[in-house]
A and B are shown apart, each in its own frame.
Chain A
Amino acid sequence: MAELSLEGIGKRFGAITAVTDVTLDIPSGDLVCLLGPSGCGKTTLLRLIAGLDAPSEGRILLDGEDITAVPAHQRNFGMVFQSLALFPHLSVADNISYGLRVRGVAAAARRKRAEALLELVRLPGIADRHVAQLSGGQRQRVAIARALALEPKIFLLDEPMSALDAKLREAMQVELSQLQRRLGITTVVVTHDQREAMTMADTIVVIGANRVQQVGAPLDIYRRPRNSFVADFIGSINLLPGVVSGPAEATVGDTQLRVLEVGDGVGEGDRALIAVRPEDVHLLSTDERRDNTLSGTVSYVRDLGSQVETHVDCGGETVVSVSAPKDRPAVAVADAVRVELPMAACRALAP
């Protein structure tokens, strides 16, 4: 088992900075998701870990040993590429055992290992098929089996599910995370899909604007986003512009709101965004008196069956509230309501 550390890693391509100042510790056996929008530098970071590109600055350590200068083919990391990169001229078994062949393993042993790996990814009996004859899901599994064939120290996956349809993707996410837990292999997955990251990761690393924005457990990041970028990228959230007016207080319009905490880089008197998840927002009738409420008018009601979404216009800002069907608020468009933003769910974050 292996522990991976990045120390001040950065990569520039000419004048363009792809990723900068990444310091990260990945504990042995963990599954870490590098999550961010496209072009944020997450794939570059994965390629630096793999050794396919050399960092412009910083060090990469494997179990405390500096491997920054070790070329990709000597690192023994397994990687699943975005295109899957299955070798078109080889059969399924030969694809999986390519690495063993490079290492000079005998044909019979290679065959046995390939069949065992196909068993592991639940695709028995297709060893002799040609790669072109496989379905998307099968290709995916073969790519995973090939990357695991050499019992790599680190398992890397670059947007592994992007070629699959939505239903298959969800199933593969669950399966991959179970497989990873069973093997206990340190794994880094690059994804832009926050559901995928929430499903699989022990730790999520949110990357935006070419740097790490937040590192933490999935629920921790969901509950306690450090800044408005993270809050907005993970799940949906209401972000109301306001001003910090005290240690745990902010003003939105002319209403004082108490907030649970004030995020990094915002002080008293600073402009901030008050972040609150739609599922934490309650709708009240106008005569109910409670703390932390804004008054507004219902502008839109969307019933999705599994949940009801109510949009309330509060002085020009739209506040979205989501509730379960059984708690469906008895409101219609143009009704005057009050929305409660419970103190425990509110954060004032840097814009």
Chain B
Amino acid sequence: MAFGPGLMLAVFFLVPFGIMLLVSVAEAVKGGAYNLVFDGSHYARFFTPFFGRVLAFSILIALLTACICITVGFPFTYALTRFGHRTQVVWLVFILAVLSLSEVIIGFSWSILLSRTAGISNLLVWLGLMSEPVAWYPGLVALLCGLTYLGLPYTVLILYPPLSRLDPELPEAARMLGASPLRSFFTVVVPAMRPAIVATVIMLFVFTLGAYLLPQVLGRPQHWTLSVLITDQAIFQSNLPFAAAMAIFLMVVSLALVVVTSRLNRRAMGSP
């Protein structure tokens, strides 16, 4: 029993990872097969302006989505924990239900919602707020909407436990010391929840980095992230070694970012 967790980690994580590592240095052969040799040429392909741009865009869009999710999700979850028990349960069930939607459905729903012919801009025209319907899709706005929609339920579900454990007397103590409700939220609730916020941002960042359907459905080709390219290489170009190399590269980059962020966070907290 003692080595149970270790065994599971080996079988379900280390072995597949090892296979991927081997494949990433293999030589691609026509027809989707590969020869197991040592060939570093796939890694060398990253050092081109094209890959630099795609990587930078992937990281930026993931960070942006994480920031939007936390900006919307944190105040929402904080308010949710202040509601009555029944209201909380209804909201949490609704949010869990949203999780059951597939990425494809979310993507196509947003594409319709933001389209010129049937989207919400028609509603705004009808209300007299706009002169003519506009297409917000495909584009960066549509992509951000879709990714935020995908990430928001996770944001709420991760933040809910620590926020409901937060001592309600903390913001009240700030108010007794002269801070307005808004000020006590930003100077006490947010800093006291900092570890939870950083953890959530990291989770959302990694999660969004892996999204490969939404950029294709809602974005233009210049909005395609590294995950899209990986899928493209693996499935449509049948170049498994290159796809594996990109996957490992993406993993190393995101791992490095996660380590740096948590280091900075720990230092800023100043305690063990």
The finding on whether chains A and B are genuine partners in a shared complex, rather than unrelated, reads yes
Q: Which A residues contact B (CB, under 8 angstroms)?
A: 50, 52, 71-74, 76-79, 81-83, 85-90, 98-99, 102-103, 130, 132-133, 146-147, 149-150
B2 close to A (CB within 8 Å):
no
Q: Is the CB of B170 within 8 A of A72?
A: no
B67 CB contacts on chain A under 8 angstroms: none
Q: Which of B178, B188, B191, B192 is the one whose CB lies under 8 Å from A73?
A: B178
**Residue tally, chain B, CB below 8 Å to A:** 23
Q: Is the CB of B170 within 8 A of A73?
A: no
Centre residue among B173, B174, B188, B271 by max chain A CB count within 10 A: B173
Q: Is the CB of A102 within 8 A of B179?
A: yes
Q: Is the CB of A99 within 8 A of B178?
A: yes
A-B contacts, 8 listed (Cβ < 8 Å): A71-B175, A73-B179, A79-B172, A81-B173, A87-B191, A90-B191, A102-B187, A133-B271
Q: Which of A82, A87, A133 is the one whose CB lies under 8 Å from B170?
A: A87
Q: Would you call the interface of chain B mostly helix, strand, loop, or mixed?
A: helix
Report B173-188 CB contacts with A as 1/0, cut-off 8 Å.
1111111110110011
B194 close to A (CB within 8 Å):
yes
Expressed in whole angstroms, the Cα–Cα distance for A88 and B192 within the complex equals: 6
B269 close to A (CB within 8 Å):
yes
Taking the nearest CB of chain A, how far is it from the CB of B130, in angstroms? 40
Beta-carbon nearest neighbor of B177 in chain A: A99
A86 CB contacts on chain B under 8 angstroms: 173
B175 CB contacts on chain A under 8 angstroms: 52, 71-73
Q: Restricting to B149-199, which residues have a CB under 8 Å from any CB of A?
A: 167, 169-170, 172-181, 183-184, 187-188, 191-192, 194
B4 close to A (CB within 8 Å):
no
Expressed in whole angstroms, the Cα–Cα distance for A72 and B173 within the complex equals: 10
A103 CB contacts on chain B under 8 angstroms: 178
Q: Is the CB of A72 within 8 A of B188?
A: no
B270 close to A (CB within 8 Å):
yes
Expressed in whole angstroms, the Cα–Cα distance for A99 and B174 within the complex equals: 8
Expressed in whole angstroms, the Cα–Cα distance for A116 and B58 within the complex equals: 53
Beyond contacts A79-B172, A83-B169, A89-B191: 17 other A-B pairs, Cβ-Cβ < 8 A, are: A52-B176, A72-B175, A73-B176, A73-B177, A73-B181, A81-B169, A81-B173, A85-B170, A85-B172, A89-B192, A89-B194, A98-B177, A99-B179, A102-B174, A132-B271, A149-B177, A150-B178
Give the top 7 A-B pairs by smallest Cβ distance, nearest first.
Answer: A99-B177, A85-B173, A85-B169, A89-B191, A81-B169, A79-B176, A102-B178
Q: Restricting to B16-48, which residues have a CB under 8 Å from any CB of A?
A: none
Q: Is the CB of A146 within 8 A of B172?
A: no
Expressed in whole angstroms, the Cα–Cα distance for A79 and B184 within the complex equals: 15
A78 CB contacts on chain B under 8 angstroms: 176
Q: Is the CB of B172 within 8 A of A102?
A: no
